Amino acid sequence: MNFEEDEIILSTGKRIYAHSLIVGLSIDPSDAQFHVSYGYDGRIWWPTPEWWDDKEKEEHRKVHPTDAEMKELATYMANAWGKLRDSL
């Protein structure tokens, strides 16, 4: 994973826009789903909705993260939080 200005570049080469490289995580209390955001008001569109047909899913995954790519980002973020925790 690399970073370039306001983009996260995953090992697959896919680029995710993240204003100021800020990535946030929240849990929607209505359905206990994780929501990943960037900056203060953006959303990273993941996961791909299961009810979409295969063609829609394929198109979505061309520009939005797959589960494997989100795992890469989550691993990076967990390690970053661990480094902060260990420095305190």
Domain boundaries, the chain: 2-87
**pLDDT tens digits along 8-44:** 999 999 998 888 888 888 888 888 888 888 877 777 7
> What percentage of the chain reaches a pLDDT higher than 70?
98
pTM: 0.75
Phi and psi at residue 72, to the nearest 5° = -60, -45
d(CA 44, CA 47): 9
The Cα 23–Cα 42 span in angstroms is 9
